[in-house]
Amino acid sequence: MIVASPKPITELKNLIARHGKVLFVGCGTCVTVCLAGGEREVGIAAYAIRMARKIEGKPLELTQIAIERQCENEFIKDLAEPAAKAEAIVSFGCGAGVQAIAERFPGKPVYPGLNTQFLGILEEQAVWTEKCLGCGDCMLAEFGGICPVTRCAKRMLNGPCGGSTETHCEVDADRPCAWQLIYTRLKGIGQLDRLDEIVPPKDWSTSWHAGARKIVRQEHRV
């Protein structure tokens, strides 16, 4: 899922300083699961912002709503009525959600309520780790299902590097060495022979370096 974290209250307050009627929009998908932008987190942010504005002597008329998914027009259309009454919208979705709402309401300022971080998983309660870079050319089969492109600080395709310890990365002592994990995993599934092969340089043309990517799948087009 997409993992995000809340913006500090002061930053959020400054974003909407020029507005008197604002709509806070939560998203019911990834950012709800990562406890950053669901209905509940929007509610807590709303309490804080309303109080901060009242103390400043500039009370804020704030409406809050959470939709199922901000990254789909089908769900964004539910915002038409509350958005019409607001001067500005704060999206508590990921960066895709913020932009989808901005496209849908071209005459309305739309601000981000979160900092979108990465594609990751929940390790334990309230701990998320990055697992995927979205490089567009998945090589997980070669590495036993552990991605060195994302999880090795040096993105080594033929690791480990000379600096790794038995278990951890030299760049961050708290981070497990991806190449140690790859070795253990390949050994466990009986595919250590994969390490004999030199992995050629990665084709980065599928990644984001040339700008935003687009996927069209003709078989599903109507």
Partner 1 sequence: MTSNWEPRIIAFCCNYCAYAAADLAGSKRMQYPANVRIIHSPCTGKIEMEHILEAFEKGIDGILVAGCLEGGCHFLEGNLRARKRTDRIRAMLDEIGVGAERLLMVNLSAAMAPTFVERVNQIVEKVRALGPSPLHSSKQMESVGMP
Task: Point out which residues bind partner 1 (CB under 8 A).
Answer: 8-10, 13, 40, 43-44, 47-52, 54-56
Q: Phi and psi at residue 6, in whole multiples of 5°?
A: -65, 145
Closest CA to 65 of 120, 109, 23, 34: 23
161 Cβ neighbours under 8 A, 6+ residues apart: 152, 154, 170, 179
DSSP state at residue 78: G
Instruction: Give the residue carrying structure tokens 């109080």.
Output: 51
In whole angstroms, the minimum distance from the beta carbon of 34 to partner 1 comes to 16
- Shortest separation between residue 92's beta carbon and partner 1, angstroms: 16
Of the pair 7, 151, the CB lying nearest partner 1 is at 7
Minimal distance, residue 26 CB to partner 1, in Å:
14
Report the candidate in 66, 88, 87 with the shortest Cα–Cα distance to residue 78: 66
Of 119, 134, 103, whose CA–CA distance to 212 is shortest? Answer: 134
Q: Which is nearer to partner 1, 43 or 109 (CB)?
A: 43
For partner 1, the closer of residues 126 and 173 by Cβ is: 126
Please say which residue, 43 or 176, places its beta carbon nearer to partner 1: 43
